[in-house]
Amino acid sequence: MLDWTDRHYRFFLRQISRHAYLYTEMVTTGAILYGDKSRFLDFTACEHPVALQLGGSDPTDLAGCARIVEQWGYDEVNLNVGCPSERVQSGSFGACLMAEPALVSDCVKAMRDVVDIPVTVKHRIGIDEVEHYEFLRDFVGAVADAGCEVFIVHARNAILKGLSPKENREIPPLKYDYVHRLKRDFPQLEILINGGIADWDEVDAQLAHVDGVMIGRMAYHDPYQFAGVDQRYYGDDAPVATRGEVAHALMPYIAECMKNGRTLPKHIVRHVLGLYQGRPGARAWRRMLSDSKLLNGAGPELILRALEQVEHPAVEEAA
């Protein structure tokens, strides 16, 4: 979810669900150790519970970053061993690390040695032509021996050469049964499943076999589907915020972000284009909030103008 689940998106989704566990986009160890820490690590208190996802392969660097992540206030640090992009591979991390379970184990141990927050791992079920279940089982077993207790499994192989990241999310077949078997073989571990799950009935079906479900693209493109999550899965009977209330909550947030002179409304509203997905006025909402002329020099009031378009839309089909 690189460039998608930044702090602005996470604030937005937290207005829809108070309890869903949020994950950052992947941040490299170099960015944290040598870059602008505030840019990569700052978040709003309402985002809790929130985990930071790290990309890296050097145990010393990962340990240093994990310590910083904990000090910054995150609830979890997650090591990405699932990203298949060639850019990530050139840095010797991401899905290619599945071929080196001993190194991943060293990374996990190094992080666990310096923090008290959970250290978790997100990975694929295999890489390239290695498609047998035993590869996945042995990888998880080795990393679990290093102290990792939570594994988030994207139920597809990662094809390291020849497929784009987008193709890697669509072309390799989903093998949910591998993840279900993993939970049976490691009942003491917390196993979460990811990949291709697009509605709550599917989530319910998965929860019969695993401990949790990670949702990616659906949460971004149709975020208001999460409006019922708190009641359905967390036993929270508080009133669900309407789309309009969610939009209004963004206005003071945008104003506060603009005070630092670095954040423009366009950096925030790009994440909320799907708020009215499938509802009357959805096209007008998207059109207004993605219009470069309107965004130039705009402030929080643009949200009000877009809401007016939703409440009194021109004659058009919802989309």
Residues annotated as part of the active site: 83
Query: Shortest CA distance to 180 belongs to which of 137, 223, 244?
Result: 137
Q: Which amino acid is located at 54 in the chain? A: L
> If 0-12 CB within 10 Å is exposed, 13-18 middle and 19+ buried, where does residue 170 land?
exposed
Stated length of the chain = 319
Run of H or E residues at 51: strand 50-55
Q: Which two tokens stand for residue 203?
A: 């989530």
Q: Which residue has the tokens 């096209």?
A: 283
Using the CB atoms, write b or e for 266-291: b if 16+ within 10 Å. bebbbbbbbbbbeebbbbbbbebbee
Q: Which two tokens stand for residue 4?
A: 């998608």
> If 0-12 CB within 10 Å is exposed, 13-18 middle and 19+ buried, where does residue 298 land?
buried
Q: Which residue has the tokens 């994207």?
A: 154
Question: For residues 108 and 66, is the Cβ–Cβ distance under 8 A?
Answer: no
How wide is the angle at C-alpha 225 spanned by C-alphas 219 and 227, nearest 5°? 110
Cα distance between residue 282 and residue 316, in whole Å: 9
Phi (first) and psi of residue 281, to 5 degrees: 90, 0
